[in-house]
Chains A and B, each alone.
Chain A
Amino acid sequence: MSHIALQDIAKSFGPVRVLDGCSVAVDKGTVMTLLGPSGCGKTTLLRTLAGFVEPDSGRVVVGGRDITDLPPNRRQVGYVFQSYALFPHLDVAANVAYGLRVRRVSQAETQARVRKALDLVSLSAYADRYPARLSGGQQQRVAIARALVLEPEVLLLDEPFNALDAKLRLSMQIELRKLIERVGITSIFVTHDQQEAMTLSDRVAVMRAGRIEQVGAPIDIYDRPRTAYVAAFIGRANVLPVDIRGGRVAPDPAIAAARADGAAWLVVRPENLAIENAGEGPGWHGTVAFATPQGATIEYEIAVGMAEPLRVVALRKVGEPPAAVGSPVRVRAVDPAACVVLGEGPDSV
């Protein structure tokens, strides 16, 4: 039985349908990421779980209890805001103690629990600082400590790394992942950064226009995208129009397709394509349009007479010059089994 279940959540703001029947289930102690571009409804879904947004329809169930109609202050759901929303008039210790004071926890117990929570995020030395005098990363840790000190059933984090600079971001992501594993709390992240989703989560739910497009382990989604949209959002992908003939993809019959003959779409990652010498044979025939040596790899754009050039990432040997622009080449899939054939292309909604 899943620990968190969002069932068929729908929400409109005026004429805009922000959530269009979203269902997500998260197992106890795991980390789920809601991934999607801005405006896809991921933050609204998270806010629904915290009770800041009342859904038009659907149920919110946490630990087997239906909390759809509970006001936010009666839910056991910790929330870390994108801006952290620390109370500027309270110092770090008082920020962390806030929830305990509201619950009328005794002075002695409050002090002990605040100290423990600050230890957990390594901020004990900053207990009497005010938020304005903390760095972004420290503020984030205060926000997390403030939520965790109440021992909530669930921890929700809305784009927690957005306000941090790129360098700090990666180390904080790893720190946070360790912290969550230590505490063992069921968590949901919201992000638009697929790299972040890969680093942080056990499972990813890719969202699009108020709906869940695909849910799965990050690497499974990368390997087996169910739609062209997901393929393009997680990592980079070539999405090519192809013909299916006799259960094989026409330009490269090494790729099997378990579907009827006719038009289809092929998803193939750039690193799964290889450049071969021109000449007769299966594969896509074209010319090198652009080559960028990037150290360990060379990135090619190959014009093959389609709207988009094929993107190919090839391993580079030291001293090897890239293929000359304009030279004719043939492109084939390295591992035919790693290609995905879809019925619908990138433009269909």
Chain B
Amino acid sequence: MTKNLAPIDRIGRVVLGVVAAFSLLLLVAPSLIVVAISFEPRGFIAFPPSGFSLRWYEHVFANRQLTDSVVVSLWVSLAVAGITLALGVPAAFASVRGTFAGKAAANAFLLAPQMMPGMVIGIASLFFGAYFAFRASNAMLILALSVFCLPFVIRIAMARLAGLDPRLDEASANLGAGKLETFVRVTLPQLGPALVAAAAFTFIEAFDNVTVALFTSDVRGRPLPVELYYLVQYDSTPAIAAISALEIGLSFAIMLVLARTVGLERLGR
């Protein structure tokens, strides 16, 4: 194949390969370095690590404040994934299949939070809460994160719905199924993979979001990202790296499960 190329094209290929490899390295290296640092036996951050120890993992699991914040984050993320699915799927239906006045405007409005920086949503939620005398709390965090994540779910569900043949619904009706039965037997099974992907995305996004959480989370029982943010400021030990490594592991596990069940190429849409 390559021997027919002109010299200039051959040089181009080499340059492209080098740039691609370097970019890939930049993407992956920080994660790998964090994982390496997490095994450092001494009490300060150093790379390369001076030895191998699981000391900081023990430290993390023994730290009540940290484990509590993990639990808070897990609950918050699950709730956000549930709420956004419950709201996003019907919204996607309306915006793909519905025919009503102002549909384009409604679509733009639904997807707007995606265009807004998370910090804006966080501050807006804080002021909104203050105005109505809501205290920053887990409930408020869940609400703000749901607003932030809803467009992801709507987008993914819309993309899948738009690809569904409406004739399938007619075929189902022709074979005797009512609307609900058609939804359960035909629409949902085909939407399923997209919904799993949307839920996973939302979960991961809600789990590691700092910008929204910083402004809306409870002072006691902070979620993990906010806890880490304070930890980094006051107590810079390899414990941070250990938590990060655990988070990388969690994301990796979720991606692996998705790749096996849904297929990664579907997640991009």
Where the two chains meet, the residues of A that have a C-beta atom closer than 8 Å to any C-beta of B are 50-52, 71-75, 77-79, 81, 83, 85-89, 98-99, 101-103, 146-147, 150
Q: Which of these, B165, B174, B190, contacts A83 with CB under 8 Å?
A: B165
Cβ-closest chain A residue relative to B186: A87
Contacts of A71 in B (CB 8 A): 173
Contact A89 B189 (CB under 8 A): yes
Query: CB-CB contacts of B174-189 with A at 8 A, as 1s and 0s?
Result: 1111100100011001
Q: What CA separation (Å) do A102 and B179 show in the bound complex?
A: 12
Which applies to chain B's interface (DSSP): helix, strand, loop or mixed? helix
Contact A81 B190 (CB under 8 A): no
Q: What CA separation (Å) do A51 and B178 show in the bound complex?
A: 13
Q: Does B231 contact A (CB under 8 A)?
A: no
Given contacts A52-B170, A87-B171, contact A102 B176 (CB under 8 A): yes
Q: Which of these, A72, A88, A89, contacts B174 with CB under 8 Å?
A: A72
Q: Does B71 contact A (CB under 8 A)?
A: no
Contact A73 B165 (CB under 8 A): no
Contacts of A79 in B (CB 8 A): 170-171, 174
Contacts of B172 in A (CB 8 A): 87, 98, 102
Contact A50 B171 (CB under 8 A): no
Q: What CA separation (Å) do A73 and B175 show in the bound complex?
A: 6
Contacts of A147 in B (CB 8 A): 174-175
Contacts of B178 in A (CB 8 A): 73
Contacts of A78 in B (CB 8 A): 174
Q: What CA separation (Å) do A75 and B173 show in the bound complex?
A: 9
Q: Does B168 contact A (CB under 8 A)?
A: yes
Contact A81 B167 (CB under 8 A): yes
Q: What CA separation (Å) do A79 and B181 show in the bound complex?
A: 19
Q: Report the number of A-B residue pairs with Cβ-Cβ less than 8 Å.
A: 60
B97 to chain A, nearest CB (A): 15
Q: Which of these, B170, B176, B181, B185, contacts A81 with CB under 8 Å?
A: B170
Contact B189 A146 (CB under 8 A): no
11 new A-B contacts at CB < 8 Å, known A52-B173, A87-B186, A102-B175: A51-B173, A52-B170, A73-B178, A74-B176, A79-B170, A85-B168, A87-B172, A89-B189, A102-B177, A102-B181, A150-B176
Contact A85 B170 (CB under 8 A): yes
Contact A72 B167 (CB under 8 A): no
Contact B190 A72 (CB under 8 A): no
Q: Which 5 A-B pairs have the closest CB atoms?
A: A99-B175, A85-B171, A85-B167, A72-B173, A79-B174
B170 to chain A, nearest CB (A): 5
Q: What CA separation (Å) do A174 and B176 show in the bound complex?
A: 29
> What are some 16 contacts across the A-B interface (CB < 8 A)?
A52-B170, A52-B173, A72-B170, A72-B173, A79-B171, A79-B174, A85-B168, A85-B171, A87-B186, A88-B190, A89-B189, A98-B172, A98-B185, A102-B181, A103-B176, A150-B176
Cβ-closest chain B residue relative to A156: B174
Contact B174 A73 (CB under 8 A): yes
Cβ-closest chain B residue relative to A103: B176
Q: What CA separation (Å) do A74 and B189 show in the bound complex?
A: 24
Contact A87 B173 (CB under 8 A): no
Contacts of B175 in A (CB 8 A): 73, 98-99, 102, 146-147, 150
Contacts of B168 in A (CB 8 A): 85, 87
Cβ-closest chain A residue relative to B193: A89
Contact B165 A85 (CB under 8 A): yes
Given contacts A87-B186, A88-B190, contact A73 B167 (CB under 8 A): no
Contacts of A86 in B (CB 8 A): 171
Q: What CA separation (Å) do A26 and B168 show in the bound complex?
A: 28
Which residue, B167, B171, B178, has most C-beta atoms of chain A within 10 A? B171
Residues 165-221 (chain B) with a chain A CB within 8 angstroms:
165, 167-168, 170-178, 181, 185-186, 189-190
Contacts of A75 in B (CB 8 A): 174
Q: What CA separation (Å) do A73 and B173 show in the bound complex?
A: 5
B14 to chain A, nearest CB (A): 40
Contacts of B190 in A (CB 8 A): 88-89
B46 to chain A, nearest CB (A): 53
Contacts of A150 in B (CB 8 A): 175-176
